[in-house]
Structure 1
């Protein structure tokens, strides 16, 4: 009977369950530090989507003079760290509006209705 009591008390002191997950490219610092979650009007900046938009790629090429993917990515990472997400996004949004090439589209590529 003593052994049974010992087993019951040992099972009550189990450590918490461990879990594992996948965090993707950002988990390894592939996109720099954790992004700011908002710009002044509390809208989330989806940098993964933004860097794939032709308008943003044109903005980066004009601002940096760079045209290759990895060098452009490094420039974006440095600008985000230097200026902040919201300032870089505001610069891009102003450039997007001034360019006038995407009048029916927001800077994030959403069609205006």
Structure 2
């Protein structure tokens, strides 16, 4: 791992960006496992959207981004996209589960 100041070539920088991208994908996958679990706990697809929670998260992300010298607008755009995707994912998971539960109730026992 090199710091940005230690990168002397474009390839050095590309290597570090690729390393970070790998770590980000791993973190997004871990985050999604929590989103999947949340969807398992929710009883209705409408529970996937919580405006107050979203705005609280965005405010915290913007604050944290500013502290880390990351453009808060960029951070907000990334997180809003991530949140929108997760809401759609949760809704699908919940709706599929409810559909399967209803189908199982309609199926006569052997």
Q: TM-score range by the shorter chain?
A: under 0.3
TM-score with structure 2 setting the length: 0.25
TM-score, normalised with respect to structure 1: 0.25
More helix by share: 2
